Structure 1
Amino acid sequence: MESITVHPTMPNNKDHKLHIAMFPWLAFGHMIPYLELAKLIAGKGHRISFISTPRNIDRLPPLPPNLSTLITFVKLPLPQNANLPEGAEATSDIPEDEGPYLKIAYDSLHQPITQFLTSSKPDWILFDFAPYWLPEIAQNLGIPTAFYSIVLAAPLAFLGPTSPEVPPDDRKLPEDYTVPPKWVPFPATVSWRLFEVLRLYNQISGDEKNVSVLHRFMEAFRGCDLIVVRSSTEFEPEWLNLLEVMHGKPVLPVGLLPPTPQDDDENVMWRSIKDWLDRQSKNTVVYVAFGTEAMLSQEEVIEIALGLEKSGLPFFWVLRTKQGSDAVKLPEGFEERNEGRGVVCRSWAPQLKILAHDSVGVFLSHSGWSSVVEALTFGRPLVLLPMSNDQGLNARHFGEKKVGYELPRDERDGSFTGEAVAESLRMVIEKEEGRVYRNKGKELKPLFGDRKRQDLYVDRFLDYLATHQRRRLI
């Protein structure tokens, strides 16, 4: 595939059609936001090469017919790793503790992606945190790079600076990560709880066999020409500005990427869910879902179940569990006792359609950014129960902005009680003290659901890429 050559005297950037390569990390929580941005860019006539592994590409949602000629999927086979199950190509295919082996296999794509970039010569490549080695390859080939982060600016800023103008990160102990960093110049609570740091400490520190996640992020910041964030200046202006100072390079928000509605009203599963939701009163249903990858422990499932029962509220719970002997179980008789008032769904559920329904009053979520965007697109308040990675930092950030109430937990081990679940849900959905969360959801709905505003963000982003490209060619 050849890139389009641009003549320096072209009249304006809208006439300049780019060829952009995208290389997300092997997690659907990363691939889907990359694909959403790819569709918005292709919708403006630019070409996309979307690079991943064969099985992951085959599992992505189908493209709209009008974009199929502009988005090309590039399949790079994932090298075998003896520590991974056969056919494992995404984080959803493996337990969390096997994540380092998937990163090692991913790092082995160094050579095939070099070959692809050499032959296709895209105008830009957007890459994720994991391929920290990619900027050097691209630089040698004369291809500019943008680190496209699906993570918000606030948790990115927490990770640490690369600019010599900013005091260096000297955190060493787990406790050092439980307070906002010294380089944050404004009041903030964005930090990890102690139990979160202890769970993530290996990813922060790494070892002789594994490159730490923190190192990957820092090298991505250092090596890229541009930092692109799935965020908006209306939502977190102070953090986006700080990020620019911390890394001494341009930071561009690319918008909130609200999800594209799906037209499958005739789907049999949705019809039965809708029938149940239609029978519930407005703003009363607790929707419970923890994304595609978080696996609850037996203790967590029991306490959530007891909390839903104690709350007395109608609920729809999307419960993903491991199969076989490791499968977690609901408390005995739970489903029978709550028949009619609650639904436990053990398969995929149409989250967008559920959140859009008037009966939903609160979303109990892991505070993953994609889920929060979906909730706020429909003005739903949140109760937050972060599980891993950036979710704890997100939860503090969202708590500051009053878009979600974080469920109280034990500081050392992260445990929580059914009573805390029930109280948190009732507070946000019914009580006077929860009105601030309900009002904030309604207030942000126009921002998160604004497709014209999203379109402007993409236009500004493409304008920057085209201008930068033109300067290089003059």
Structure 2
Amino acid sequence: MWMQLVGQDEYVRECGTKERQAPDLISISRRMADNSKLHIAMFPWLAFGHMIPYLELAKLIAQKGHKISFISTPRNIDRLPKLPPHIAPLINLVKLPLPRMHNLLEGAEATSEVPYDKVKYLKQAYDGLKEPLATFLETSRPDWILNDFLPFWLPEVASRLGISNAFFSIFIAAALSIIKPQHVVEYRTTPEDYAVPANWIPFPTTVAFRLFEVLKLFDHSISVEETHVTDMYRFEEVIKGCDLIAVRGSKEFAPEWMQLLEELHGKPVLPVGFLPTTEYDDGEETETWRSVKEWLDKQEKGKVVYVAFGSEAKPSQDELTEIALGLELSGLPFFWVLKKRRGLEDTEPIELPDGFEERTKGRGIVCITWAPQLKILGHDSVGGFLTHSGWSSVVEALQNQRALILLTFLADQGLNARVLEENRIAYSIPRNHAHGSFTRDSVAESLRLVIAEEEGKFYRDKAKEMSSLFGDRDRQDRYVDNLLGYLQSHVKQLKS
């Protein structure tokens, strides 16, 4: 059996004598296994909602013994979560300095540090990483590079260097459905065109932007600007030039969208699982978590509203006021992680209504610094999550059986919300579809419905049901195995 595995000539060369057979055969086996291991480069966009799922996938791949080169800017690399010691040697954190832009403050390297209207300059700086990245790829020669939707120039670089490239989308398959297929002439010219499902979707669906959602995106992401390349163009070029589309999701959840993507773009599409967030626990409890846990321990089980809108979303002052007064009217205990400004260049910080914190003292906490979201969602006192619908937050909530109340702000959040609504997994706060306004009363009523009232028990039960899918580690492991099998097979074909 061993001779069949390694070949007789190789067996003789390596072993020499029968006395050395056992240890040498083991050595050969290990070496062959090492030869089958991949070197995969990863290049996410400069947003933590992108970098963290990329890092989760990197950790899962490294656990299988493969080497990862995780590429980002120095400041972002330094702020990534700590890696578990047993896989840290396999994940090389590669720092490429971000080119200076006169429109950005020095040190602004992530979307969370830049006002929304200046993110386009961060994209231009990111494009400036083309040559340093090409140099790294040329010297390190990975088998694959998994890249985000922003670097429209990367497929050409990878092809020139003979490196296979996959578009790893942190956006779910349904959200990717709005990207125009190559063979379709673009017919959408106004925001209203994007407020209905694309005409190439062959099945009934409600997945489309609300008008107020697409209006926020139109100038910066969809319509043509002289100052930068649009996001839609970036998506289209990355999809056109990739060898594989890897999508955050699973075949068990909305499989029709995965199939549609493959049909639309003529590319293999592989789900990589939901990538539920994991934290390395070194056994030390931080002071922040101790104080948060102490407060949560005093609350009634399943009645606390956890409120957080991610690292990028910042409500307007009017929206903030209605959210705050809605929380107050609900009568429910709450823990609110509030982002008042997007970086030092944000000249319009938002403020809580006068007297709000005093009136809700003891019943609610407003945290304006970082908070351990995964630990908070895992606490028994939390009954629901008022969230922006960012997919990482959705996965973290559902893996912990927390009911979802949705309030979208930007990017793909509206499309995520439609998918969740369509599958009756979450409840969206009612708002005007044209301009997005909502009231404190609708906030209060929505929170009470989902967290406290009998009528909303459906959403609480649905969250418990979904936890078996969104938090299934064994299923996640199988998806990673499937992805690696494809990547290895592709490399083998190229070398044969």
TM-score class, shorter-chain normalisation, is over 0.9
Pairing 1:38–2:58 present: yes
CA radius of gyration, larger in? 2
Q: Indicate the residue corresponding to 1:98 in structure 2.
A: 118
In 2, the alpha carbon distance for the partners of 1:37 and 1:206 equals 33
Q: Indicate the residue corresponding to 1:141 in structure 2.
A: 161
In 1, the alpha carbon distance for the partners of 2:35 and 2:362 equals 57
Pairing 1:273–2:295 present: no
- Confirm or deny: 8 A CA contact 1:206 1:213 kept in the other structure: no
Q: Indicate the residue corresponding to 2:139 in structure 1.
A: 119
Q: Indicate the residue corresponding to 2:25 in structure 1.
A: none
Q: Indicate the residue corresponding to 2:211 in structure 1.
A: 194
Q: Secondary structure at the match of 1:358?
A: coil
- Confirm or deny: 8 A CA contact 2:81 2:279 kept in the other structure: no
- The one-letter code matched in structure 2 to 1:416 is F
Pairing 1:369–2:391 present: yes
* TM superposition shift of 1:327: 2.7
Q: Secondary structure at the match of 2:177?
A: helix
- The one-letter code matched in structure 1 to 2:95 is K
- The one-letter code matched in structure 1 to 2:194 is Y
- Confirm or deny: 8 A CA contact 1:13 1:463 kept in the other structure: no
* TM superposition shift of 1:347: 1.1
In 1, the alpha carbon distance for the partners of 2:461 and 2:200 equals 32
In 2, the alpha carbon distance for the partners of 1:265 and 1:300 equals 38
In 1, the alpha carbon distance for the partners of 2:468 and 2:369 equals 31
In 2, the alpha carbon distance for the partners of 1:57 and 1:200 equals 28
Q: Could you list the runs of 5+ residues in structure 2 that have no partner in the other structure?
A: 1-6, 11-27
Q: CA RMSD in A?
A: 1.9
How high is the sequence identity, in percent, across the aligned residues?
61
Q: Could you list the runs of 5+ residues in structure 1 that have no partner in the other structure?
A: 1-6
TM-score (norm 1): 0.95
Q: Indicate the residue corresponding to 1:294 in structure 2.
A: 313
Pairing 1:393–2:415 present: yes
- The one-letter code matched in structure 1 to 2:389 is S
Q: Indicate the residue corresponding to 2:249 in structure 1.
A: 231
Pairing 1:81–2:101 present: yes
CA deviation profile, 1:412-444 (whole Å, cap 9, x unmatched): 221111001001111111233322211210111
Q: Indicate the residue corresponding to 2:303 in structure 1.
A: 284
* TM superposition shift of 1:262: 4.5
- Confirm or deny: 8 A CA contact 1:132 1:216 kept in the other structure: yes
CA deviation profile, 1:215-262 (whole Å, cap 9, x unmatched): 100111100000001111111211111111110010000001111144
- Confirm or deny: 8 A CA contact 2:41 2:142 kept in the other structure: yes
Q: Secondary structure at the match of 2:89?
A: coil
Q: Indicate the residue corresponding to 2:82 in structure 1.
A: 62
Change (3 A) 1:325 1:192: closer
- Confirm or deny: 8 A CA contact 2:250 2:271 kept in the other structure: yes
In 2, the alpha carbon distance for the partners of 1:364 and 1:224 equals 36
- Confirm or deny: 8 A CA contact 2:84 2:280 kept in the other structure: no
Q: Secondary structure at the match of 1:228?
A: strand
Q: Indicate the residue corresponding to 1:306 in structure 2.
A: 325
2:456 is matched with which residue: 425, 428, 434?
A: 434
In 2, the alpha carbon distance for the partners of 1:314 and 1:222 equals 49
Q: Indicate the residue corresponding to 2:446 in structure 1.
A: 424
* TM superposition shift of 1:456: 0.6
- The one-letter code matched in structure 1 to 2:263 is V
Pairing 1:355–2:377 present: yes
* TM superposition shift of 1:176: 0.8
Q: Secondary structure at the match of 1:69?
A: helix
In 2, the alpha carbon distance for the partners of 1:225 and 1:168 equals 23
Change (3 A) 1:358 1:466: same
Q: Indicate the residue corresponding to 1:161 in structure 2.
A: 181
- Confirm or deny: 8 A CA contact 1:295 1:321 kept in the other structure: yes
Q: Indicate the residue corresponding to 2:193 in structure 1.
A: 176
Q: Indicate the residue corresponding to 2:23 in structure 1.
A: none
Runs of 4+ in 1 over 4 A off after TM superposition: 9-15
In 1, the alpha carbon distance for the partners of 2:280 and 2:69 equals 24
What is the number of residues matched between the two proteins? 464
Pairing 1:251–2:269 present: yes
- Confirm or deny: 8 A CA contact 2:335 2:364 kept in the other structure: yes
Q: Secondary structure at the match of 1:299?
A: helix
1:19 is matched with which residue: 30, 39, 58?
A: 39
Q: Indicate the residue corresponding to 1:260 in structure 2.
A: 278
TM-score (norm 2): 0.90
- The one-letter code matched in structure 1 to 2:271 is P
In 2, the alpha carbon distance for the partners of 1:66 and 1:239 equals 36
* TM superposition shift of 1:56: 1.2
Change (3 A) 1:440 1:399: same
Q: Indicate the residue corresponding to 1:209 in structure 2.
A: 227
Change (3 A) 1:435 1:187: farther
- Which structure 2 residues correspond to residues 396-407 of structure 1 after superposition, within 5 A? 396-407=418-429
Change (3 A) 1:237 1:309: same
- Confirm or deny: 8 A CA contact 1:14 1:463 kept in the other structure: no
In 1, the alpha carbon distance for the partners of 2:241 and 2:68 equals 22
* TM superposition shift of 1:183: 1.2
In 1, the alpha carbon distance for the partners of 2:478 and 2:100 equals 42
CA deviation profile, 1:180-200 (whole Å, cap 9, x unmatched): 111111111110111111111
Q: Secondary structure at the match of 2:70?
A: strand
Change (3 A) 1:326 1:170: closer
- Confirm or deny: 8 A CA contact 2:82 2:280 kept in the other structure: no
In 2, the alpha carbon distance for the partners of 1:236 and 1:68 equals 34
Q: Secondary structure at the match of 2:386?
A: strand
* TM superposition shift of 1:13: 8.2
Q: Indicate the residue corresponding to 1:329 in structure 2.
A: 351
- The one-letter code matched in structure 2 to 1:387 is F
- Confirm or deny: 8 A CA contact 1:13 1:467 kept in the other structure: no
- Confirm or deny: 8 A CA contact 1:178 1:194 kept in the other structure: yes
* TM superposition shift of 1:208: 2.3
- The one-letter code matched in structure 1 to 2:433 is E
- The one-letter code matched in structure 2 to 1:125 is I
- Confirm or deny: 8 A CA contact 2:405 2:428 kept in the other structure: yes
- Confirm or deny: 8 A CA contact 1:13 1:466 kept in the other structure: no
In 2, the alpha carbon distance for the partners of 1:97 and 1:278 equals 41
1:412 is matched with which residue: 434, 452, 468?
A: 434
Q: Secondary structure at the match of 2:75?
A: helix
Q: Which moved more, 1:401-410 or 1:255-264?
A: 255-264
